[in-house]
Amino acid sequence: MTSSARFSLVGRTALVTGAGNGIGAAVARAFAAAGAAVVVADIDKDAAAREAEEIVAAGGRAEPALLDVRDPEQADRAARLAADIGDGVLHILVNNAGAIAPAMFPKMTAEQFSRVLDIHVGGTFTVSQAVLPFLPADGTGRIINVTSAAGLVGTIGQVNYGAAKAAVVGITKSLARELARRQITVNALAPLAATAMTETVRSDEKLAALTLARIPLGRWAQPDEIAGSFVFFASDAASYITGQVLPVDGGTVI
């Protein structure tokens, strides 16, 4: 196998959650460019449809899916759609869907806390369980979770988000051990990029300056810069990596 072939996703099928915009959309496009058939899943059905149309227009293969990751029935439908596209097999799951509800701890409500955990932690559990019957045991099965520096080193004003992303790390490591017997790898990425989720920080002069001061590279990444790391974890080039967390954050976590 040539070096470039090891990064090819030709013949693979992927389900990407939260793929209607931001990092999820960039990952879906990158997977399609690498040859994968992609189910673009999002709670915003119109956004998912637009992204899928763009992939198809660029010569790729994609289908949109409505998916609230907290809903087991929607997760099952999205998993079956992806498997149907892949002739009964779903090779790659990216658990990217997320949400934030920032507040300083004394003012954070129980609803703010539980909602963020339900989406990030409950969603990762629900969708991973839905796709498991379709993941192959031939070494091509991949679960790629999305965590954050907040889950690795903490963050101010987002105890809920930090707790959720730390839990995703725990899920990643435990599931990697459990699924290794089936030759399915489970890894996580901790990205930082200019997306709708970081708009609140980037649009606040003081917060933006504080954040940039913690990034050694001194700038925000664009989502497309992050997507290549997902392609790597999804490809044969990462076939012997499991249970790992890779920060893709300009050096924020070193």
Query: Which residues are designated catalytic?
Result: 161
CA distance to 10, 131, 162, 182, per residue, from 177 (Å): 27, 17, 23, 10
The C-alpha atoms of residue 106 and residue 101 are separated, in whole angstroms, by 14
110 and 31 in contact (C-beta within 8 Å)? no
The C-alpha atoms of residue 70 and residue 47 are separated, in whole angstroms, by 18
Name the residue type at position 119.
I
Dihedral class, residue 214 (left if φ above 0, else alpha if ψ from -120 to 50, else beta): alpha
User: Closest Cα to residue 52, out of 71, 73, 69, 32?
Assistant: 32
